[in-house]
Structure 1
């Protein structure tokens, strides 16, 4: 009997979330729409290979691929190794070199719910002066950015940047079944929006033609502008690695470059 936790119902949910038909999924997976229908209704039990193939064609997150395998009666194939495990030593060293090499520009690494795994001195500079309760581990990048006692009052174009971050989280929630991420979204979306000290917040008198939406933030009397780039790992085989994201903040104007280089000495 098919239940709400059967592999068929889970696959159907993912297919509908991706907005594709059984026929289209069948074509992508070298199968038939009849077979896909039988799997979704519980009339056919997919092989382990088929579960993984369908998960790949549906771009199911690695963590949820394990859930699909378990629902189909198979053992998970993707490990979830703590980042401090000795086997992750080479990865950790590489990430640390990447962050250090990006200095004096800010860069950090977060997990799937925006907990900060590592950050360089450029990020620590931006966090200088924040209240202690926001800096108690584990740090959360979304809380620190959007909290009214966090970076929010320092962000010149806060309304735009807040909208960008919330939309980013909404897209992630739509693509992955993550209750912790949804809970974080509901928390930070409910934060009160600080009243700007500056008139015409997010509307400079002389707009700068940025090539992407910048984070415009005040630091020690300076107005700094950054554009964000996020990198993830290709074809990850571990849940921990699959959920890591490396965010680098690229200076968006010459004044920001000059200021940060003067700090980097």
Structure 2
């Protein structure tokens, strides 16, 4: 009888302890779920901080069409953001950045011009090559100057325009000419590839050595002439987040878009080569 009473008295104590343990476990579980839900979206994917503000991108002139398109796409994907661009010769842009011009991203047309910025430790991330580009000769529609090779550019009386030697497209053109053993004196050296192409479009020159992407972007305003020596002077295009980027998080997202499958597809359509 005594043993029975003792057992009966212990039962409520055990039940109370079990209930307390269950309540504690339930509280833990509830807390964990609450924590998880704050880190995930309704579809179960990880949430990301909302981006806003302006992303300022300094980019090589040859990227104008494709980057403008990607900037618009970025704005659609991230409402409340805007991408503004400063297009020009990579050397000039690099000098502006090292001189203190406010920018978030730098996309150059050659590792050499990117090095101007990295040497000053003005990048926040290591530059990454995202595309490559190849030279092509742009002539007037119908090719009245009868240009079918790089050597034809040396013909007497032909007005040829080149990019300045300090600009990536100009450096590449010089490399191709050297590989061919050719010497060429242009009627002018231009500060960026768009300026060189414009001389042909305005019929101020018979031909210009530019990038394939620029010939494609010009449509029927010019005619393209490929030449094998261009394979000796293909330019890598690096991109990097800048050290004092005013909008670093949004800038990282724009770089991610450029390097994504979607971004690479857009760049390929423009005529750029894969990195």
Whichever of the two has the greater Rg, that structure is: 2
* Same fold by TM-score greater than 0.5: no
Q: Which interval holds the TM-score relative to the shorter structure?
A: under 0.3
Query: Whose relative contact order is higher, 1 or 2, with alpha carbons under 8 Å and at least 6 apart?
Result: 2
TM-score by length of 1: 0.23
